[in-house]
Amino acid sequence: MRAPGPSFPRVVHAEWTKLLGLRSTHVVVVATVGLVGFLTHLSSSASAGDPGFVPTRGLADVLPLAFLGVLVLGVVVGAGEHSTGTFRSTFAAVPQRIPVLLAQAVVTAAVALWTGVLSVAAAVLGILPAAASREMTPDLATAGVPGLLLGSGGFLVGAGLLGLAFGALLRRPVPALVAAVVLFLVAPVVLSIAADTGDDPVAVHDPEDPPAATAVVNTVESFTPVGAGAVLTNPGGGGLDGAPDLGAAGSALVLGCWVAVPLTVAAVRLRRRDLV
C-alpha cells in the first residue's frame, strides 16, 4: 500500500495539472512553434536565391530566438502562485516546500522540451519550400545538423528553467520577466555594441590576436546564457575571437550554472523565509 501524503510523483502530478490547466501554456507552445516555422520559412525563402544556398543553414536562423515563450512560461510557473495567492494551499499541502520547486522544474523542463521538439520540427518544415524551389533535399544527417537540433532543444529547456528560477526567486512576475529579458535580449546587444564601439572600423585584426577590449567583451559574452545558447544552437562554429572555446559541453555547463545558482538561492529563500 502506498504511503499517504505528498510523495514526489504526486507533487509532480499536481504541478502538471496546474500547468496544463492554464490556457497560457497552450498559447505559448502554439505561438512559439508557429512563429519559428513562419520566420524560418521567411528567412530561408529570402536566401533561396543565393548561389551557395544550403537549405539546412536556414535552420539556425530563428531557433536561437524561440526562447521568449518558454522563458515567460517559466516565470509564470515560478511566480504565478505567489501573485494569485494559491501558494498558501500549495505549501500547506507540501510543507517541505522544496519538492514543489523541484516538481515545477520537472514540469517546466518537460513542456520546454516538448516546445523545443515541436519548434525543431516546425523549423525543418519551414525550410522545405525554399529547398523545393531549388529542387534540393535538405540533408538532416549532415555534420552539425543533429547537434544543432539537439542544442536548440536543450537551450529552450535551459531558458524555461532560468525563467522558473527567476520567477521563484523574485516571486513577482513582472520584475522576474524584466530581469530575464535584460539578461537574454539586452545584454548580448550591449556586449556587441561595446565590442564594435571599441573597434576601429578600418583596422583589420588577426582573429588569433584581437584587441584586448574585444577579447574581454567576447569572453564575458561566452559566459552569458545567450553566448552559451549561441554555441549550443551553432555547434562547430568555434568560439568568439579572443574568448576560450568552451565547446557544446562547456556551454551546456555554463547554461546549467545560470539555472542552478538562482534556483538554489530560490530554494534557500523558500525554505528559510516566510511565505507572504
Partner 1 sequence: MTAARVVAAEWTKLASLSSTTWLTAGTVCAAAVLAFVLGLFAGPGDAVSASSLASSGYLLAQLGPLVLGVLVGSTDFTVGTSLTTYAAVPRRIPVLLAQVVLTTALTLVTGVAAISVSLAATAGARRTAGLSWTLSSPSDLRTAVGYVLFLAGAGVCGVLLGSLLRRPLAALATAVALFVLLDQVLATHPGHVVDTVRALLPSSGTRMFADEARLSALGAGHGPHLGVGGGGLVLAAWCVALTALAGFRLVRRDVS
By CB under 8 A, name the one of 154, 173, 210, 262 that touches partner 1: 173
Question: Going by C-beta distance under 8 Å and a sequence separation of 6 or more, which residues neighbour residue 78?
Answer: 104, 163, 164, 165, 166, 167, 168, 169, 171, 176, 266
Q: How far apart are CA 72 and CA 81, in angstroms?
A: 14
Nearest residue to 42 via CA among 126, 122, 125: 126
Task: Give the Cβ contact number of residue 259 at 10 Å.
Answer: 23
Residues 155, 88: contact at Cβ < 8 Å? no
CB of 58 to partner 1, least distance (A): 8
* Residue 246 contacts partner 1 per CB under 8 A: no
DSSP label of 205: -
Stretch that binds partner 1, among 7-15, 70-78, 141-149, 233-241 (CB under 8 A): 70-78
* Residue 37 contacts partner 1 per CB under 8 A: no
Pick between residue 5 and residue 52 the one whose CB is nearest to partner 1. Answer: 52
Stretch that binds partner 1, among 86-94, 188-196, 231-239, 268-276 (CB under 8 A): 188-196
DSSP label of 58: G
By CB under 8 A, name the one of 72, 105, 164, 169 that touches partner 1: 72
Q: How many residues contact partner 1, by CB under 8 A?
A: 37
**Residue matched to cell numbers 512576475:** 173
Pick between residue 198 and residue 237 the one whose CB is nearest to partner 1. Answer: 198
Residues of this chain that bind partner 1 (CB under 8 A): 24, 39, 42-43, 45-47, 61-62, 65, 68-69, 72, 75-76, 173-174, 177-178, 181-182, 185-186, 189-190, 193-202, 213, 217
